[in-house]
Amino acid sequence: MAKLSQDDLLAQFEEMTLIELSEFVKAFEEKFDVTAAAPAAVVAAAPGAPGAAAPAEEEKDEFDVVLTGAGDKKIQVIKVVRELTSLGLKEAKDLVDGTPKPVLEKVNKEQADKAAESLKAAGASVEVK
């Protein structure tokens, strides 16, 4: 008997009904003492896939710096807000007066930490989300 290529085998399988394919798989399993079931590691990994998304969220790369309170040195906080943003004096004052409000949105971790540190040094209370 001539050796069949994968394409030839696939062409043969294509012509079979589902019942015939099922019987072939059973016969193949018996003949070669194997199973056509997915390996346990693959099956176990599939339910874990949604869980794998959770750690990815913990390692986010965009942060928001939220001003939660101006503290005693409101003028210093307004100055720092102006330095961190491109806001004018009135807009910066309105932001500080309307706390809690985001000062910076969707910035990297380093930039968020620096901004939070500057605002805290000026006397403000800050939250990085």
What is the tens place of the pLDDT at every residue in 74-123? Answer: 888 888 888 888 888 888 888 888 878 888 888 888 888 888 888 888 88
How far is it, in rounded angstroms, from Cα 24 to Cα 40? 23
Q: Is residue 103 part of a domain?
A: yes
**Is residue 81 in a domain?**
yes
Domain that holds residue 99: 63-128
Q: Give the pLDDT of residue 40.
A: 52
Sign of CA dihedral 63, 69, 73, 76: positive
Strands 125-128 vs 101-107: parallel, antiparallel or unpaired: unpaired
> Does pTM surpass 0.75?
no
Domain of 79, CATH number, reads 3.30.1390.10
